[in-house]
Copies of this chain bind each other. A is one copy, B any other.
Amino acid sequence: MTVDEIRELIQLARETGVAELEVQRGDNRARIRLAGFTTHQEIAASPPPFPAAAAATPSVSEPSQETQPADPNLTLVKSPIVGTFYEGPSPDAPPFVRIGERVQPGKVLCIIESMKLMNEIEAETSGVIESKLVINGQPVEYGEALFAVRKV
């Protein structure tokens, strides 16, 4: 690892906004820790250090922006409330949507039951249902991804 390489790593750490960077190449290892960062970056970008724990706890899933897919044409529909996910209006009825189905804004996608109330969740964008991310009857938390919709 040359000084230039390490300089590059520091540059990388800067750009990516990480608090600390540790690199090992064979016997070589470099660890970089940045001094100045803002709270907002931290909350969004920082990896959980001891709370690596949080990610390791199976019952904790990660809501909202962190679960945005890398593919820019894919949109996640997330649960706006805590409750139980139902894919259809009643146990015997067919699901509101199926994989591959084309949806428009306003189309009901599922129901989240919360405190005995049935809350219809509607599509906000148009596209094709690429995947259904939870199964019928499953409890979901706030921000949990329910569907992936592909822009067409």
- A interface residues with partner B (beta carbon < 8 Å): 1, 3, 5-10, 12-14, 16-39
B32 touches A18 (CB 8 A): yes
Task: Give the number of copies in the complex.
Answer: 2
| The 10 residue pairs across chains A and B that have the minimum distance between CB atoms | A22-B31, A24-B29, A19-B35, A20-B33, A26-B27, A35-B37, A19-B33, A10-B16, A23-B30, A25-B28
Residues of B with C-beta under 8 A to A9: 3, 6
Interchain Cβ contacts under 8 Å between A and B, 25 examples? A3-B8, A3-B9, A6-B12, A6-B21, A10-B12, A10-B16, A10-B18, A13-B18, A18-B33, A19-B35, A20-B20, A20-B32, A21-B30, A21-B32, A22-B29, A22-B30, A22-B31, A22-B32, A23-B29, A24-B24, A24-B27, A25-B27, A27-B27, A29-B29, A31-B31
